[in-house]
Structure 1
Amino acid sequence: MEIKECVDDAQRKYFLLANQILTAWFRSCMILSNSRLYIDLTVEESFAMGVTETVFTTKDYLGLARSLGGLIESHAAEGDKIGTMAPAVVDAFRAVNLWDIFLPKEAGGQGADLLTFLEVVEEISRADASTGWAYFANMLSATFFASGMGESGVKDVFGGTGPSRTVTAASLNQPGNVRQVEGGYMVSVDATHFASGAGHADWLAAGGICEFADGSKDAVQYLVRRDKVEFLGNWEVFGLSGTGSYSFKVPEQFIPEAYTWKAAAWQPLRGQRDLHTGLNYMAVTGHTAVSLGTAKRALQELVKAIDASKPRPGGVPAHRDSEVFQYQFAEMDAKYRSVRAYAVECVRDAMSTVYAGKELTEEQRQRGNQVNTFGVHMAEEVARFAFVWSGSAGLRGGAPLGRNLRDALVENVHAIVDPYTLTLAGPVLMNAYRAVPIDVVPKSAGVFDHKKK
């Protein structure tokens, strides 16, 4: 199917009708053949023709993410400039239901598995790290809320059954005030920070420590509508500039019980088995995916620059003919592919465990932390290598390699990849090499794991 333009509204309506007919036909074929089907019309071509409802009905989520790559890349500089995801990209994600692929089916999502989550976030991050970072934060927060909130809250926020295009963002470092009252909580927050994806979110989450009538304490988190918070801005940063990780204030207000959850007691009440890996494991999977996408883009852009290189004065060969460069490029490619293979291995192992109805072992949790932290270090090394060898290609304003390096550096300062994560993982991972494992008491389960040990 290759249609380059629609001249008038009549043609556009005809095209939409044709899409509907083809969609029905594709669905019937899928039922009969139980196979994936693909169409040649890209999302960008659909948008160029004014079509905002496409016929992407298969579960080829990775192919869908790839089809958006050009659109994401073309708006990356705009995202950096305005400090949040470009509106055209937000709208494109809504139009093809990309926001809800990991959301539980009971909340109107598509219930994709954790490996799909990794691959889709990697691909979007390859197109632009800021977009991938915000997308993963939005998608993960929505999944967390939709799986753990009360039924009426889920229906209001996510619309119950059917495609959900609701976007959420969160800042869950519990700096606020929470007081239990009849039917819910009175809450307020003077300032909570780093709410990645907040710039285009419909709902935002915050939290605070609540002291209950029996004297016990717990972190209570909640969702609040966008128009009920005050944005404080302050996202003018060196890298990952387009993530919209704004600070915001929550004026004192009442939050019904159905829009809240207790952090220490959180368990998925609905959704796919993958959610039982826990918030921290899903979070490190998303962070790992961003790093993988960042590294892959660095290598792609470097090859473009190297292919255009020329011999230099004094008989110095072009970079592409340099044996030093060729050796180092092979090393960097191996590092990227090694981390990716290990990440996929970890995710598949975790999925096998929770699908068998078991909880992740401490070794599995720490391997998730390990591959995440090591992956971020790898991405920085690859991005730095690509920038240096690209010559002047990365120096210009808006050059992908320059932005790529800045993003990779900023990925390294997140708390979830603090070097201490490897210190915590080491004693646990050593058991894999002992004939008789010894007991190791974990000092921490993870940045986003609030469960008491």
Structure 2
Amino acid sequence: MTTSIHPTLDVNNVLAAIDNIYDLLQAEAEDSERLRRPTPAVQQALKESGVFQLLLPVEYGGAEAGPLEIIEVISRLSRADGSLAWLARVLTSETGYAAASLPEETARELFGGEDKALVAGLASMDFSGTARRVDGGYIVDGEWQYVPGLSMATHVDLGVTVEETGERIICVVPRSSLRVTDNWKMLGLLSSGTLDYSAWELFVPDNYTFLPGPENLRRGADILRLSPSALATLNQGAWSQGVGERILDELKQLTQENRGHSERDVTSAEFYAEFARHYSHVRGTGALLREIWGEVNDNLERGTKPDVELQTMMRLAAALSTRTVLEISHLAHRFAGASVMRNGVLQRFFRDGHAGTQHRGTAHLVTQQCGEILSGTLPEGTYWGFYDLVVPEPE
């Protein structure tokens, strides 16, 4: 058994740190968007906040946070800045997986010191790269796309398929060993540092590789025992909550600034009715998200796997939170007038909201499949794959 190298991270301290850097994040937001990555000051503040250590094993100074704690942290950060929270959710998750899965000597080297590695990647869902077995490791080739946080990461995980055996493995390599394509020129989430990268004839030692899957974890947070898609779903729901709350915050402020001008859309009776409806939706989806993930947390503490219905509700709660952000964005576009068209906070969250709701794990198809499960119309033995339902063939 490994002994702790650093004091365990307190999630309450992370939440307090996010509150303390709020003004900095607002002041630097425009420059971060221009750079298409966090400014140096923001990068340092995020590192010092402890957010990237949420899922690190306690022996490396991490929090091994539970699902309800993750909801609080990611929603708090996304309410401050949607792009930065998008970046943080991926760096936090991939760093946690790597630290929990790599051999102990390698994990201690990367995460045991004061200057901890930050790992980006989408290895758990993209094994399009190839690996060729050689003495002491593998030669890796491949291209990967749309990886948030790559601009901040020190290391990247590569999902590859071994040519000789068809086995899937994950390789962790220094970012400097890859060819990075700086092509993130999108509508929203501009500050998330989402980039493409490739590897050609790259040697990766055996001790920097691990097998994917919860059954291959060596240490770390209980939530990592769920599938990577489950953690992605949790992060998406939490992110959506914060972004939805912030757009409502901005609309509330705009309404107060226009009080007494009854002729304006944002102070009309129709707006107030719509604002109340969307406000209740955010509160409702937040309550559902916490209720469902509270049940998941109970399962984790008992050492049991969530059943298919609970897995369905995990996805549905995130999908509803995501849908609510889209509807609130439409509310802003309909009533805020030029305020949502001009450069500024409301426009930025409007763009981030639309970009983030494209997430595959909460697409409308997922909601449809949730309905099929919950209505009892699918055969016994149906289960969730990465994002989609797997329905057994009729006998």
Distance in 1 of aligned mates of 2:163 and 2:388 = 21
Indicate yes or no: 2:330 matched with 1:384. Answer: yes
Q: Call closer, same or farther: CA 1:428–1:405 in 2, change over 3 Å.
A: same
Q: Call closer, same or farther: CA 1:267–1:370 in 2, change over 3 Å.
A: farther
Q: Call closer, same or farther: CA 1:96–1:411 in 2, change over 3 Å.
A: closer
Aligned residue identity for 1:441: T
Indicate yes or no: 2:292 matched with 1:340. Answer: no
Shift, 1:264, TM fit? 5.0
Distance in 2 of aligned mates of 1:57 and 1:146 = 18
Indicate yes or no: 2:203 matched with 1:258. Answer: no
Question: Which residue number corresponds to residue 400 of structure 1?
Answer: 345
**After superposition, where does 1:61-210 map in structure 2 within 5 Å?**
61-159=14-112, 165-172=116-123, 173-189=126-142, 191-210=143-162
User: Runs ≥4 in structure 1, deviation > 6 angstroms?
Assistant: none
Q: Call closer, same or farther: CA 1:184–1:447 in 2, change over 3 Å.
A: farther
Cα deviation, 1:266-308, whole Å, max 9, x if unaligned, reads 5322013222223211111111111111101100011111111
| SS of equivalent residue, structure 2 residue 216 | coil
Aligned residue identity for 1:272: A
Q: Call closer, same or farther: CA 1:425–1:289 in 2, change over 3 Å.
A: same
Shift, 1:265, TM fit? 6.8
| SS of equivalent residue, structure 1 residue 343 | helix
Shift, 1:58, TM fit? 7.6
Question: Which residue number corresponds to residue 418 of structure 1?
Answer: 363
Question: Which residue number corresponds to residue 306 of structure 2?
Answer: 360
Distance in 2 of aligned mates of 1:357 and 1:264 = 16
Question: Which residue number corresponds to residue 177 of structure 2?
Answer: 228
Asked if structure 1 preserves the Cα contact closer than 8 Å seen for 2:53 and 2:92, the reply is yes
Tell me which of 375, 382, 394 is aligned to 1:441: 382
Shift, 1:226, TM fit? 1.6
Cα deviation, 1:44-63, whole Å, max 9, x if unaligned, reads xxxxxxxxxxxx97844322
Instruction: Report how many aligned residue pairs link the two structures.
Output: 382
Distance in 2 of aligned mates of 1:58 and 1:390 = 36
Shift, 1:137, TM fit? 0.7
Question: Which residue number corresponds to residue 224 of structure 2?
Answer: 275
TM-score (norm 2): 0.89
| SS of equivalent residue, structure 1 residue 374 | helix
Asked if structure 2 preserves the Cα contact closer than 8 Å seen for 1:239 and 1:406, the reply is yes
| SS of equivalent residue, structure 1 residue 171 | coil
Cα deviation, 1:34-77, whole Å, max 9, x if unaligned, reads xxxxxxxxxxxxxxxxxxxxxx9784432222222221122221
Distance in 2 of aligned mates of 1:376 and 1:188 = 35
Cα deviation, 1:141-188, whole Å, max 9, x if unaligned, reads 1011111121122112212xx656321100321221212233322112
| SS of equivalent residue, structure 2 residue 202 | strand
Question: Which residue number corresponds to residue 3 of structure 2?
Answer: none
Shift, 1:247, TM fit? 0.3
Distance in 1 of aligned mates of 2:326 and 2:22 = 22
How large is the RMSD of aligned CA atoms in angstroms? 2.5
Indicate yes or no: 2:231 matched with 1:292. Answer: no
Distance in 1 of aligned mates of 2:59 and 2:374 = 37
Shift, 1:415, TM fit? 1.9
Indicate yes or no: 2:311 matched with 1:370. Answer: no
Distance in 1 of aligned mates of 2:251 and 2:70 = 27
| SS of equivalent residue, structure 1 residue 109 | coil
Shift, 1:440, TM fit? 4.5
| SS of equivalent residue, structure 1 residue 355 | helix
Shift, 1:107, TM fit? 3.1
Indicate the larger mover: 66-75 or 400-409.
66-75
Asked if structure 2 preserves the Cα contact closer than 8 Å seen for 1:310 and 1:319, the reply is no
Distance in 2 of aligned mates of 1:292 and 1:422 = 17
Shift, 1:386, TM fit? 2.2
Q: Call closer, same or farther: CA 1:333–1:297 in 2, change over 3 Å.
A: same
Q: Call closer, same or farther: CA 1:409–1:321 in 2, change over 3 Å.
A: closer
Distance in 1 of aligned mates of 2:21 and 2:32 = 15
Asked if structure 2 preserves the Cα contact closer than 8 Å seen for 1:383 and 1:401, the reply is no
Cα deviation, 1:88-134, whole Å, max 9, x if unaligned, reads 11101222433212211133322222211111111111111000000
| SS of equivalent residue, structure 2 residue 167 | strand
| SS of equivalent residue, structure 2 residue 375 | helix
| SS of equivalent residue, structure 1 residue 64 | helix
Structure 2 residue runs of 5 or longer lacking an equivalent are: 1-6, 390-395
Aligned residue identity for 2:107: V
